[in-house]
A and B are shown apart, each in its own frame.
Chain A
Amino acid sequence: MSLVDLWVYLSGGPLLWLTTTLIAYVAADAIFVAVGRRPLANPVLIAILMVSAVLVVTGTPFPAYFAGAQFVHFLLGPATVALAVPLVRYLPQVRRLLVPMVTALVVGSVTAIVSAVVLARTLGLDASTARALAPKSATTPIAMGTAEAIGADPALTAVLVILTGIVGAIIVTPLMNAIGLKNYAARGFAAGLASHGIGTARAFQVDPLAGTFAGIALGLNGLLTAVLVPILLPFLVK
C-alpha cells in the first residue's frame, strides 16, 4: 500500500480527524501550561488554529474533517446537561446570590446587546452587520435562531458568537484583575453571560464556583437575549 493509498483510506474515515482534534487540543493545553497559563494562550484558540492549518495544508474540506470531529462536537449536549451537577453542589451559594444574579443578568444582557449595536453603528459598520452582532453573547443555537428572527445572517452571527467567546475567554481574567474584583461568583457569571460556553469553559479552568455561575449565566442570558434582541433592535438600528 502506498502512502497516497494510506492517506486516502485514513482521511476518508472519522478516526484521523477525531485523533487530530484531540492531539491538537492536548498540544494546545500543553502550550497553555508551558507559558504559565497566560490567558492569551487560550487552548481553544490555539487548537482551532492548529487544526485549521492542518486542513489547509492537506487540502481537506471542512465536511470531511467534521465527519470525524462530530463525535467531540456531540459531547457539547451531555456537557450542558452535566452543568446541573455543580449547580446542585453549589446550590446554597446560588440561592443566597439570587438577587445579585438576576440584577446582573438584566443589566449585563442589555449591555451586551446595546453596546455591540451602538459601537457597530458608531464605527460605521453596515446595518446588516450590526443586526448580526446583536445576539453575539448568547450561546450559538439561540443566537442563530435570534438572528433569523430579526432578519440577520445566521452564519455570520455564528462566526461572531464564536469570536466573542474566544475574546471573552482571553480578556476576562486580566480585566477582572485590573478592576480588582475578587468575587469569583461575579467573575464567573460575567464570563458566562458575555461569552457563553467558551467563557464558561474558561471559568471552569480557573475555579469550580466561577464555572458554576458561568453555566447559570450562559443558560439565563441565552433565554433573555432571545427575548430582548427583537424588542431592543428597532430602537438601535433603523
Chain B
Amino acid sequence: MLYGFAVLLVCQLLGEAFVRALVLPIPGPVVGMVLLTALMLVRVPLPSELGDVAGGLLKHLSLLFVPAGVGIIQHLGRVGQEGGRILLVLVLSTAVTLAVTAVVFAATARLMGVEAERGDPETEPVEGEP
C-alpha cells in the first residue's frame, strides 16, 4: 500500500509544481493524473499494489467530499433570499445538461457503430446497484 500511495503523491507533487511553474489555471492533481496515465502507458515499472490503492480511494470517493460539503453549509447564507429560485435553476440546468450530454454521447456512438457495455464488476469489486 505504501509504494502505491507514494506513486500517487509523487505524481500529484509533480503536477502541482508544473501548474505553479507555468501559472496554469488547472488543478495540480489533474496534471498528476495525466502524468500517471502517461507513465502507465509507456509501461514504466510501477508497484503492483497501485491498482489496489487507487481502487480503494475511488471506491470511497464520496467520503472525500464530506468536509468541503460541511464547509458549504456554513456559507449557505450567501445564497440568501434567492435560495429557492437558485435551487430550481440548479436542478433544471443539471437535468438538462445530464440528458443532453448522455444522449449526444450515445447517439454519436451509435452513429459510428461503437457500443460500450458495462464494466466488469467481477474483476473490480465496486459497490454496485443490484
Point out residues on A near B: beta carbons under 8 Å. Answer: 21-22, 24-25, 29, 37, 43-45, 47-49, 51-52, 55, 62, 65-66, 69-70, 72-73, 75-91, 93, 96-97, 99-101, 103-104, 107-108, 111-112, 115-116, 119-120, 123-126, 129, 133, 136-137, 139-142, 145-146, 153, 155-156, 158-160, 162-168, 171-173, 175-176, 179, 181, 183-187, 189-191, 193-195, 197-198, 200-202, 204-212, 215, 217, 219, 222-223, 226
B interface residues, Cβ below 8 angstroms from A: 5, 8-9, 11-12, 15, 25-30, 32-37, 40-41, 50-51, 53-55, 57-76, 78-79, 82, 85-106, 108-109, 112, 114-121, 124, 126-130
CB neighbours (8 Å) of B32 from chain A are 77, 80-81
**Consensus secondary structure, chain B interface:** helix
CB–CB A137/B97 < 8 A: yes
- Point out the residues of chain A lying under 8 angstroms from B105, CB to CB: 97, 100-101, 103-104, 183, 185-186, 189-190
Inter-subunit contact A162/B33 (CB<8 Å): no
- How far is the CB of B89 from the nearest CB of chain A, in Å? 5
Chain A contacts of B33 at CB under 8 A? 80-84, 87, 215, 219
Give the nearest-CB partner of A171 in chain B.
B95
